[in-house]
C-alpha cells in the first residue's frame, strides 16, 4: 500500500509517500480501504517533534479515516466486506489501508461523503468532551470558542447551537460570515483587536461561562480572567508552539516556559478556591488510552441520528500534497476540515 510517512521532524517537507506492507486484520479487527483521512493540528505538531505521543520516525501518523471494509479478522460479527465506515485510529491514518478494532468503527451516515465522515471522529469527540462532558454547557450560558472556523471550532459551534448557548467565536475577519452561518452569535476578530476586551464589552463586563481554547499560554491567561463565577476553561492544545520552527526555536521555547504559568500556577492552588473558576486539560489521545472512546462515540452517534452534526470540509489534498496540506493548516487559511485522499 501507499502511505504518507513522517521521516523526520523538520516540518511538512518530511512527509514522504512510500510503499508499506498491507496491514493484516487480526482477531477482532477489520481492515479498511481508506478513501479519506483527517488532518489534525496534532499531526502538524508531530512533524515538528512537538507531539510527544507520536511514534518515533519513520512512522505513519493520522488519527481518523473513512472508507470501505475490505477484510474481516477472526471473531468479528455484524460487519461485512463492502460496508462503508469511519472511525479513529491510534496513528496510521495517512495510508491506503488501515487496520482497527471492529468496535471502533461506525457506519457512514446516509448522505455523508467519505470526506465528511473522516472529519467526524477527532473534531466532534474533542468538542463533545470539552463542551458536554467537562463543560456541562446548558441553554442560555455563554461560551467562547477560539478558532471557531477550524474543525473543532465548527464542531463545537454546532454542539453549542443545539444546546441553546450564546456563542462567542474568534476568527479572522474574512471568516466571520462562515462562522456566523454555523451559529456564532458574536464573531470576534482576534487579529485586529484584543479578544478579551471585546468579549468584556459584549457581555457588559460579566464574562462567559465556558471557554474552549487550543491556542496556548498567551490566550489561556486572558481566558481565565474572562470567566464569570462558576466558569470553566478547557485547554485542549497549544498551537502557539507550532509558530516556531521546532523545539529549540525561540518562540516555541518561550511558549513552553510559560505553559505551567498560563492558567493556575501551582502557588495559586489555595487562592483558586476564592475565585470560583475551574480549569480542565483535555487530550483526546490520553482519554482514548485511559477508557476508550465509547462514551464520546455514543454522544456522537446520538447527535448524528438527530441530524445535529454536518462537518464542513474545506479542502482535500492528495497524498503527494501532504506537505502542502500541513502548510495550509499552519497558515490558518482553512474554514473547516482539511483532509488527505489516496
Of the candidates 236, 239, 215, the one whose C-alpha atom is nearest the C-alpha of residue 125 is 236
Same domain, 116 and 189: no
Residue 54: pLDDT above 70?
yes
Q: Give pLDDT, residue 40.
A: 96
- Per-residue confidence at 18, pLDDT binned at 50, 70, 90? very high
What pLDDT does residue 223 have?
96
Both 273 and 148 in a single domain?
Answer: yes
Model confidence band, residue 52 (pLDDT cutoffs 50, 70, 90): confident
Cα separation, 174 vs 154, in Å, equals: 15
CATH code of residue 320? 3.90.180.10
Domain that holds residue 155: 123-285
- Is 297 among the domain residues? no
140 and 279, same structural domain? yes
> Binning pLDDT at 50, 70 and 90, where does residue 243 land?
low
Q: CA 11 to CA 332: how far, in whole Å?
A: 16
Segment 111-125 shows an average pLDDT of 97
Q: Which of 214-228, 242-256, 281-295 is least confident?
A: 242-256
263 shares its domain with 207: yes
**Mean local confidence (pLDDT), 320-339:** 96
pLDDT higher than threshold 70 for residue 245: no
In contact, 206 and 182? CB cutoff 8 Å:
no
Mean pLDDT score of the chain: 93
Q: How many CA atoms lie within 13 A of 287 on its CB side?
A: 20
213-224 pLDDT, tens digit per residue, is 999 888 999 999
The residue from 285, 303, 329 where one domain ends is: 285
Residues 126-138 have a mean pLDDT of 98
pTM: 0.92
Looking at the structure, do residues 192 and 276 belong to the same domain, yes or no? yes
State percent of the chain over pLDDT 90.
85
Cell of 323: 506537505
* Statement to judge: residues 156 and 280 lie in one domain: yes
Q: Is the pLDDT of residue 310 over 80?
A: yes
| Strands across the sheet containing 166-171 | 186-189, 166-171, 142-145, 208-213, 227-235, 278-281
Asked if 86 and 105 touch (Cβ cutoff 8 Å), the reply is yes
Burial class, 110, CB count within 10 angstroms (exposed 0-12 / middle 13-18 / buried 19+): exposed
Q: How do residues 247-274 score in pLDDT, each as one tens digit?
A: 445 555 555 455 565 666 655 667 777 8
**Inter-CA distances, 123 with 147, 336, 339, Å:** 12, 10, 13
Q: Give the model's confidence band at 241: pLDDT under 50 very low, under 70 low, under 90 confident, else very high.
A: confident
231-256: average pLDDT: 69
Mean pLDDT of 320-326: 98
DSSP 193: S
105/141 same-domain check: no
Confirm if 146 and 153 have CB atoms less than 8 A apart. yes
One domain, residues 250 and 238: yes
Average pLDDT of the residues in 22-39: 98
Q: What is the pLDDT of residue 239?
A: 83
Domain count, the chain: 2
According to the model, what pLDDT value does residue 161 have?
98
Q: Are residues 155 and 115 part of one domain?
A: no
114 and 139 within one domain = no
Has residue 333 got a pLDDT over 70? yes
Task: Look at residue 72 and tell me whether its pLDDT is greater than 90.
Answer: yes
How far apart are alpha carbons 322 and 95 in whole angstroms? 11
Element (H, E) at 274: helix 272-275
Same domain, residue pair 11 and 88: yes
Q: Is the pLDDT of residue 244 over 90?
A: no
List Cβ neighbours of 26 (8 Å cut-off, separation of 6 or more).
73, 74, 99
Take residue 306 and report the three cell numbers written for it.
438527530
What pLDDT does residue 304 have?
95
Amino acid at each position: 500500500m501507499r502511505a504518507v510517512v513522517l521521516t523526520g521532524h523538520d516540518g511538512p517537507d518530511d512527509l514522504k509517500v512510500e510503499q508499506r506492507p498491507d496491514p493484516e486484520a487480526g482477531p477482532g479487527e477489520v481492515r479498511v480501504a481508506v478513501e479519506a483521512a483527517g488532518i489534525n493540528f496534532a499531526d502538524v505538531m508531530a512533524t515538528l517533534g512537538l507531539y510527544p505521543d507520536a511514534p518515533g520516525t519513520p512512522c505513519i501518523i493520522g488519527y481518523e479515516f473513512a472508507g470501505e471494509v475490505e477484510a474481516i479478522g477472526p471473531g468479528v460479527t455484524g460487519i461485512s466486506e463492502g460496508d462503508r465506515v469511519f472511525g479513529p485510529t491510534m496513528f496510521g491514518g495517512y495510508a491506503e489501508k488501515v487496520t482497527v478494532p471492529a468496535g471502533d468503527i461506525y457506519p457512514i451516515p446516509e448522505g455523508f461523503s467519505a470526506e465528511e465522515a473522516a472529519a467526524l471522529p477527532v473534531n466532534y469527540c474533542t468538542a463533545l468532551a470539552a463542551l458536554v462532558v467537562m463543560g456541562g454547557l446548558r441553554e442560555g450560558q455563554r461560551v467562547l470558542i477560539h478558532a471557531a472556523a477550524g474543525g473543532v471550532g465548527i464542531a463545537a459551534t454546532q454542539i453549542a447551537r443545539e444546546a441553546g448557548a450564546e456563542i462567542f467565536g474568534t476568527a479572522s475577519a474574512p471568516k466571520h460570515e462562515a462562522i456566523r452561518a454555523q451559529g456564532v452569535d458574536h464573531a470576534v476578530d482576534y487579529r485586529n483587536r484584543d479578544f478579551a476586551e471585546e468579549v468584556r464589552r459584549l457581555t457588559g463586563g460579566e464574562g462567559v461561562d465556558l471557554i474552549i481554547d487550543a491556542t496556548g499560554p498567551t490566550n489561556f491567561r486572558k481566558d481565565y480572567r474572562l470567566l464569570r463565577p462558576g466558569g470553566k476553561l478547557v485547554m485542549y492544545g497549544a498551537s502557539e508552539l507550532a509558530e516556531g520552527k521546532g523545539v529549540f526555536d525561540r518562540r516555541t521555547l518561550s511558549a513552553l516556559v510559560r505553559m505551567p504559568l498560563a492558567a493556575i500556577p501551582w502557588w495559586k492552588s489555595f487562592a483558586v478556591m476564592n475565585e470560583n473558576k475551574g480549569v480542565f486539560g483535555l487530550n483526546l489521545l490520553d482519554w482514548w488510552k485511559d477508557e476508550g472512546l465509547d462514551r464520546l462515540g455514543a454522544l456522537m452517534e446520538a447527535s448524528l441520528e438527530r441530524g445535529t452534526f454536518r462537518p464542513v470540509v474545506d479542502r482535500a489534498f492528495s497524498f503527494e500534497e501532504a506537505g502542502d496540506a500541513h502548510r495550509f493548516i499552519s497558515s490558518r487559511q482553512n474554514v473547516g476540515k482539511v483532509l488527505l485522499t489516496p
